[in-house]
Structure formats: structure tokens, C-alpha cells
Structure 1
């Protein structure tokens, strides 16, 4: 009996140690607000007996800063749009994903299951990310300050709205939307002349004394606090949903020039400590209750349903830009109100 008791105790200790070892696993997520809610984290931790650490970002520039700092070693899984993904691939930060390890991807709408047709997701025949959510970036306006709804993004430059504009504080998208307004051949691949014209136009927008935001909650707070007239909605209908709860007198348009649109995807870092666990997180977010909760809470579209944009809307899906670093350097100077001298060009 003593032998059996000791053996049983030993087995119990081994089982406890095994459980402790597994429970000590940590999944490190780098993502956007609304993509990893507290109740989702609690459910995932409970189901997988792990701990989840979440770090939120509010701009593509911040995302790049955190992932490039230590070559992605501080995180296991991250969310990025398709236009940004290629530089994480090029810098050996993202690793290929086997879609067979994400079984819930079978529940996605056909356009998102056909990953080989989505620009930016693949490289050298390998899949590097799984679509999660998407939105166009339109223009939010205060109906009380407009006799009729604006039709063009050029409304941001109208002098009567000086000091009443809310603008996203990010380099890449601001260059692309301004280039789109200027009818650039490709708003993501600017020639030197187009870049110069875009910088000049952005300086004119800076002279409008816009109020800058990074996150969606901050944008809503600033819109209400400053009785704003217009806002470039970088987060699209996520901001519309949040703002309508406080001010039902706001409208939302897709400008006649078109609206940039992003497709955010989950990717896994090369240095992920537990790649299968990272894949399980991606699979978890594609469960029906999680993806539908994203839409219900944030107003964002999920990839389990087909695109719900109007057929007449001109939507331009984001693509990689000609030079991320140059745009970022220019934007820092524009943000400060001075970009007359071109920054040193980076490759």
C-alpha cells in the first residue's frame, strides 16, 4: 500500500508539474483595439490553459516600430493589413502559415478563402497571413454643419472648416488618400513629381490646423469635444458606430474619388515561441461567435460573410507603398508644419 501510495503521489506530482509547465506558456499578441477583447482572452486562456499578453497599437508606424525593434522576438502573433505585410515578410519577421492548421478558415466567405488571389498575402508560393476583418476609410461629417452631404475628400481642405477637422496621425494612408485626390496614376507608387505634389497638398492640409488622433476611441472623443465638422475615418465604420452612439447627427460617405480600404490579417512571427498555439489563436478568432461579436461591437466587417459594400462605391484596397520610410520621414516634417526640404531618401 505504501508503494502504491508513493507511486500515486509521484504520478500526481508529475501531472501537476506537466500542467504547470503547459500553463506557463504565454501567447504574446500585438494587435489593434477591438481585435482581442478581454472576454475573448479569458475564454482562450481557459480553453488552452495558457496566459495571453496583449499589446495594442494605434498606427502602422507603431506596429512596425515594435516588430522591427527586436526582429519580432517580443511577439508571437500580430495583426497587419495586406499592404503592410510584405515588409514583414521581406525583413524575415513573418513566417509562412499552413492553412490546414486553421480549420475555421473553411467557414470564411469564398473571396477570403481564395487567399492566392488577395494581393499581399503570399510570397514565393507561401501564405503568410489569414484575413480577419476589413473596412473602407471614408469621411465622417456633422450634418448640422453641412447643408448637404460632402461628396469629395477635398472638403477637408475647405477654409471654412479650419480647426474643425479631425485627421488620422499616420504617414502612409495620408499620403495615399491625398495622392488619390490629386488623381495620381497609382496612389501607392508615387513618382518623384507626384510625391512632391502630394507633400505640397499635405502641407496645405496641415495649414487647416487639424486635430490629430491615433485610436478610434480618441477620435470620437476629439470629434465631440471640438464640435468637429469633418473627420477622415481611418477605422471606417468602427468609428461610425462609436460616434453615432453619442451623436446621431453624423453622416458617412465614400468620396467620389474613392476610399482606401484595408484588410487586416493575422500573421505569426518567425521567432514565435509556440507557433501551434499562435495558429490556434487565429483559428479561435474565426469562430462564428467571435467574428460576429467583432462586427456587433466594433461595426467592422468580418470575413465569414461577403463584402457588404455598395456596388457603386469606389473602393481601393491598400497596396504596399513605394517607400514606407520616406513617407514616414516626410510625415514627421509635415506634422511639424515644415517639409519644404526633402528628407534623405531611404531604400
Structure 2
């Protein structure tokens, strides 16, 4: 007989249900229900089936009441998001439940999304953008205002993530997730442990010892940031002398690298042992440790030989946000989808699926997930890390020129 543990007893005015998790296996998530989300399906587990049936009737009645004032949604929604960054079953369920056809495209670097959205004709209704480029895009006039009145679940967002420095008053954005970019590494093969950026920039340390087994990020902001932090410079710098020093450092490093790797590349490479140290996002490393994907929930660590270290010199922190690109044709559906994801239960499901922290759901995830510093960066550490400021188009172009020089070297 499968043994279950209580995960969380949840009650809200429009939904109540109990979710239990089998630690022996995975909880395969399929979403069924209205508004409040009942978790179930062939691979999922729900307690007290008779109670659930009565709750379904209650939810149907409540949904009728709510539906009287609910806005009519457009039939389509085009979303642009990072790879491996949401529970895809939930996206599918929402689309079916609301009669909305979703086009869900993904990208793997900030440069991609900035280039797409800054045209003002991206064709997307909803995108996820990090803090500094978000402000750049707002300054360019290529974002639509967010109407918080249409996002009542915004009340569940912790105060820390409201009214951010990069978007005062949340005029153009709502928090999606947040984290750090540092070093993921194989603790069974790498010795001594990774502690500093010097480990990947100095030949007499891990860079030389593990030649051909180390990767840096494909995103220019991240890799410039790492080099500048190691050099003791401001990672926001666009001074020619700082960028020149950073590029020369990166040129010296390049022959020792396996390459510059995107999310999919370094995740598979670390798991398979092709890479031993990778410049990576925290949630991607947590995803490897828990063997996560976008369709199943695993709350037990599977690959404990993978570790994540924020170097002693510091690292970049970031916050990803929902934005509505200029020219979006499906504004009501975009707001409705944002509101859906900010439901604490939905945010919790996304967190325990992809192992990135969705702030609105923090109190609803298992303690082992909530207390894992690879997933939920401790607040005292966040306060000590570097946050990027927005770059002007000229500053971004200057950095791009230096990056092209590195790629050609």
C-alpha cells in the first residue's frame, strides 16, 4: 500500500482541497477543477474522493457566481517565456478551461527576448522579462501598461516584490520568479569544492585542472557580470576600460572552456558528466538535483552529486516579470493568465515542478523545498548581491561589440 503524507491543507473562499504526495514516487500533475484547482488525474493523488466530489459541486456553483462579472477573454494568447519555467499541464488546463488557444514559445537568453520585444511588433501578448531590460523596454515605449485591477491575486505577492526599483508602482510588470546566476558543479568529481569566481578564471585553479569541462553562460549580461565581479569592477559598468579588461580575461579563459552553454546544454551536460562546472541559473541547477521537468513533480533529490555555489566575491541576482508587449491583441487573456499564475496554489505547483521560486506560492510548498537555498535564495544573501541597472541602447550596443570580439577570438 502506498504511504502518503499530508502536504498542505488549503482553504480559500472559492476553493478548498487536500493534496497529498507519495514520497516513494512522483506526483504527476494534471489539473482538474475550476478556479481553485483540484490536483488529480491518472497519475496524481487526491484524498477523500467523496469529499472532492462534493467540493467540485461547490466550485461549479461558485464559478457560476464569479462568471457573472468575469471579463470575456479573447480566443488566443501568445506567450514568450524562458525554457523549463512553468508547469505545462497547468498552462494546458487553463487554456482548455477558458477556451483559449495558446501559442507558447520559449527563449534561452535575455538578448533574445530584448531583441524580439524592442521592435514593438513581437506578436506576443505576454512575455517574461528580467529586471534591467524590462526598464529599458519600458523606456523605449514597447510595453503596454498593466492593469492591477484585473489581477486581484496580486495581493498574494510578498511586499518585497511589489513596487520594484525597475518598475515603480508596477506600471508595466508583475513578478514571476527570481534568483541568482552562479556556479553549478559536480561534487563527486570536482575537488576542492567550488567557492569563488577565481575557480573558473584562474588557470592554476579549477580552470586549468578541469580543462574542457567548464562552461560559461551564453547570456552576455551574465558572463560580463561574472568577469567584472571577479575583477572587482561594477557588473553594470559600460566603461571601455572595464569592458576591455573583462574581454581580455574572457579571452584568456576561453581556450580552457568546453564552451558557452545555454540552459538545455548545461543542464544535460552536468547531468551526463560532460561538464563538471557550469555558469548557471539557480533554478536550473535545482532542476537537475531534483530531476525536474515541466510535466511531473519530484520533491525528493535525485542527483545529489550536483551542487550550486554563489561565489564569495558575489554574483548577479535578478527578478523575472510578466509584461505585456506593445501591440498585444489579447489583453484580457493576458491579464487573466497572470492572475491565474499568481493564485498561491498555482504558484506553489509551478515552484515544486520547475524548482524556481514563485513568490506568491512560497507558503504552500513543502518545507524541504521552501528551505532549500538553491531554490529560495535567502533574503539576507539577496541583499548582498548585485542587481543590474537598465542599459541604454548605446550601452547595450557597445557590450554587443565587445561580445562579438570574444566570439571571434
The interval holding the TM-score normalised by the smaller chain is 0.7 to 0.9
1:48 is aligned to: 98
CA RMSD in angstroms, aligned pairs only? 2.3
Matching residue within 269, 279, 282 for 1:236: 282
1:344 is aligned to: none
Matching residue within 68, 71, 87 for 2:118: 68
Q: Point out 4+ residue stretches in structure 1 off by more than 4 angstroms.
A: none
1:7 is aligned to: none
Greater shift after overlay, 308-317 or 143-152? 308-317
Matching residue within 130, 133, 142 for 1:84: 133
1:261 partner SS: strand
The question of 1:220 aligning with 2:267 is answered yes
1:257 partner SS: coil
- Distance in 2, matches of 1:163 and 1:250, equals 18
Matching residue within 260, 266, 283 for 2:322: 266
Contact 2:184 2:277 in 1 (8 A): yes
Change (3 A) 1:72 1:242: farther
Contact 2:146 2:170 in 1 (8 A): yes
Greater shift after overlay, 138-147 or 73-82? 138-147
The question of 1:205 aligning with 2:261 is answered no
- Distance in 2, matches of 1:103 and 1:145, equals 48
User: CA-to-partner distance for each residue in 1:18-74, whole Å, 9 max, x for gaps?
Assistant: xxxx887211111112344431222221232211111101111111232234x2341
- Distance in 2, matches of 1:24 and 1:95, equals 17
1:334 is aligned to: 406
TM-score (norm 2): 0.70
Matching residue within 180, 187, 193 for 1:149: 193
- Residue ranges of structure 2 left out of the alignment (5+ in a row): 1-71, 202-206, 292-301, 364-375
2:180 is aligned to: 136
1:343 is aligned to: none
Instruction: Give the count of matched residue pairs.
Output: 307
User: CA-to-partner distance for each residue in 1:212-253, whole Å, 9 max, x for gaps?
Assistant: 2222x33121224453221111x2133233245464212211
Change (3 A) 1:142 1:76: same
Greater shift after overlay, 155-164 or 238-247? 238-247
- Distance in 1, matches of 2:113 and 2:379, equals 31
1:264 partner SS: strand
2:343 is aligned to: 287
- Distance in 2, matches of 1:37 and 1:329, equals 37
- Distance in 2, matches of 1:54 and 1:105, equals 23
TM-score (norm 1): 0.81
- Residue ranges of structure 1 left out of the alignment (5+ in a row): 1-21, 338-347
1:104 is aligned to: 153
User: CA-to-partner distance for each residue in 1:94-134, whole Å, 9 max, x for gaps?
Assistant: 12212222110101112113x1xx22123xx6711001101
Change (3 A) 1:252 1:35: closer
- Distance in 2, matches of 1:82 and 1:68, equals 15
Question: CA offset at residue 193 of structure 1?
Answer: 1.1
- Distance in 2, matches of 1:24 and 1:112, equals 29
2:390 is aligned to: 320
Greater shift after overlay, 55-64 or 144-153? 144-153
